Amino acid sequence: MRSKNKSFRMVLAALFLALAFVMPFLTGQIPELGSMLCPLHIPIILCGYVCGWPWGLLIGFIAPLLRSVTLGMPVLFPNAVCMAFELAAYGAIAGLLHKLLPRKRPYVYCSLIVAMLAGRLVWGVAMLACMGLAEGGFTLAAFIAGAFTNAIPGIILQILLIPVLVMIIDKPKAQIKKD
């Protein structure tokens, strides 16, 4: 039974990777729209919730690098490299908090917001490290614009959509445990 569950999580993780690969196409490959709606974030965060933190971490790290190497978007350095760390943090933290906290709506929102803030901080540290290597400047204003101001539509979309999806996905699990 345990290996079947492991295999099922692997298949789901592959599905979330595929979604992360294709969802940015919904923005019509317009980089400005993609950076505002953050379409890569949704399947990664969901992967952390559904498959657990190790899969969220792994798929979060792989997705932007795979897209960059195969499609050229996002640009590999520094964007995809920094996004790999950011998305890995999203998936890992969302999955870990979902495992540790009660599976009730307020805790889903709490884990999502903590994961989103932590992921953005990880992105900022990664950008600072990469831009330092590239001898470019990464200021506090650039961090706030990139992590928050430009991403407000995506942040709102994630806060509205992800908890609802997590509660829908978790509902059958809770009913099975009661029976």
CATH code at position 77: 1.10.1760.20
Q: Is residue 94 part of a domain?
A: yes
Q: Is residue 171 part of a domain?
A: yes
Q: Is residue 110 part of a domain?
A: yes
Nearest-angstrom CA–CA distance, 75 and 68: 6
| pTM listed for this prediction | 0.90
Q: Is residue 101 part of a domain?
A: yes
Q: Is residue 174 part of a domain?
A: yes
Range of the domain at 79: 2-23+38-178
Tell me which H or E stretch contains 170: helix 152-178
CB burial readout 17-50, b (16+ within 10 A) else e: bebbbebbeebeeeeeebbbbbbbbbbbbbbbbb
What proportion of the chain, given as a percentage, has pLDDT over 90?
69
pLDDT of res. 178? 54
Q: How many domains does the structure of the chain reveal?
A: 1
pLDDT of res. 31? 67
pLDDT tens profile 120-171: 999 999 999 988 765 667 888 889 988 899 899 999 999 999 999 999 998 8
